[in-house]
Amino acid sequence: MNKKTIMGLPREEFFVSGSRNCAGCGFPSIIRIVTKAAGKNTIIVNATGCMEVVSTPYPQTAWKLPWVHAAFENAAAVASGVEAALKKLGKNTNVIVFGGDGGTYDIGLQALSGMVERGHNVLYICYDNEAYENTGIQRSSSTPKFSWTTTTPIGKKIRGKKQWKKPISQIMASHGMSYVATASPHLHIDLFNKVKKALSIKGPKFIRVISPCVIGWKIPSNKTIEIEELAVETGVFPIYEVLEGELKINYKPKKLKPVKEYLMMQGRFKHLNEKEIRVIQERVKKHWEHLLKLEKMGRIYDVIL
């Protein structure tokens, strides 16, 4: 039997049908790609969040791998313990953490930073849906500026979230990690290869993957892949990796599309006026140009004592 599917990925599934996620949810495709790259010699540590809730309604599970449910704030700490135990036993087993942006950018940042500082051989995957979607669509530090959430309402004075999104990938790279990357499920081979590369490197690794939320982003359930693609083509979600301090942009659109195309497909941005859209456009343009400059510089992230 052919071991490859038409998509170029292994046939074997480690995240199977039966999960209770919303139609069009972004993270099941992420899990399928990541676990296909990792293979069966893998232990999953899952922070509390959407993915944990919908994939393991007791006594059922959609996972075909050893799986640990950690609290919102300590998934990286739990993974550190799992990795340390495996090391003591002489086992060469992949340890992968899945956490949403709330459990990564905010509540779990201390545990994640500690895991990296101690040098545990763990791959941390952040499925970034840009809000606390599981607990009521509250804003997180990953929520984009001007975005609607239930805690950043839209009115004459409050125009959604007031702050810009936290640069978590840069923060992780600045820890001196050997490998940090961003990815999108619509570029599935890129994500697959990045997981393979990350798992071949000893020490802590971090990959942030865009994960649209149908409910929180107010998008049709059949537009998830299109939204992911537009996020990349507009420069809102650049695709790059930082290997041993050297940044490489893995996908460069021939010409960035206007951010308005991405924003206006989502109900959470429907309130934006032209001035607010221009503010976002300028920010995205500057960030993209900054990444291009960093790539030309060569080695950019060094630990400064």
Written as one string, the DSSP assignment of the chain is --SB-TTSSBS--SB-TT--PPTT-SHHHHHHHHHHHH-SSEEEEEESSHHHHHH--TT--SBSS-EEEE-TT-HHHHHHHHHHHHHHHT---EEEEEEEHIIIIITTHHHHHHHHHHT---EEEEEE-SSBGGGTSB--TTSPTT--BTTB-BSSS-BS--SPPP-HHHHHHTTT-SEEEEE-TTSHHHHHHHHHHHHTSSS-EEEEEE---HHHHT--TT-HHHHHHHHHHTTSS-EEEEETTEEEEEE--SSPPPHHHHHTTSGGGTT--HHHHHHHHHHHHHHHHHHHHHHHH-B------
Q: Rounded mean pLDDT of the chain?
A: 94
In the predicted model, what is the mean pLDDT of residues 102-119?
Answer: 96
In the predicted model, what is the mean pLDDT of residues 99-113?
Answer: 96
pLDDT score, position 105: 97
- 131, two tokens: 């809000």
Q: What is the domain range of residue 73? A: 27-297
Residue 210 falls inside a structural domain: yes
Residue 196 falls inside a structural domain: yes
- Assess contact for 10 and 3: CB atoms under 8 A: yes
Is it the case that residue 139 has pLDDT exceeding 70? yes
Instruction: Tell me how long the chain is.
Output: 305
Cα angle for residues 24, 27, 31 (degrees, 5° grid): 130
Residue 11 falls inside a structural domain: no
Residues 6+ apart with CB under 8 A from 272: 146, 159, 263, 264, 280
Specify the residue for token string 């125009």: 159
pLDDT in tens, 74-94: 999 999 999 999 999 999 999
Is it the case that residue 229 has pLDDT exceeding 60? yes
Residue 5 falls inside a structural domain: no
Q: What span, in angstroms and rounded, lies between the C-alpha atoms of 99 and 40?
A: 20
Residue 270 falls inside a structural domain: yes
Residue 17 falls inside a structural domain: no
Residue 244 falls inside a structural domain: yes
Domain total for the chain? 1
pLDDT in tens, 155-170: 988 999 999 999 999 9
Is it the case that residue 7 has pLDDT exceeding 80? no
Q: How many CB atoms lie within 10 A of CB 256?
A: 17
Rounded to two decimals, what is the model's pTM?
0.95
- Assess contact for 97 and 123: CB atoms under 8 A: yes
Q: What percent of the chain has pLDDT over 90?
A: 88
Is it the case that residue 305 has pLDDT exceeding 80? no
pLDDT score, position 4: 56
pLDDT score, position 144: 98
- 24, two tokens: 């069009």
Residue 87 falls inside a structural domain: yes
**Any idea what the CATH number is for the domain that residue 249 is in?**
3.40.50.970
pLDDT score, position 97: 98
Is it the case that residue 174 has pLDDT exceeding 60? yes
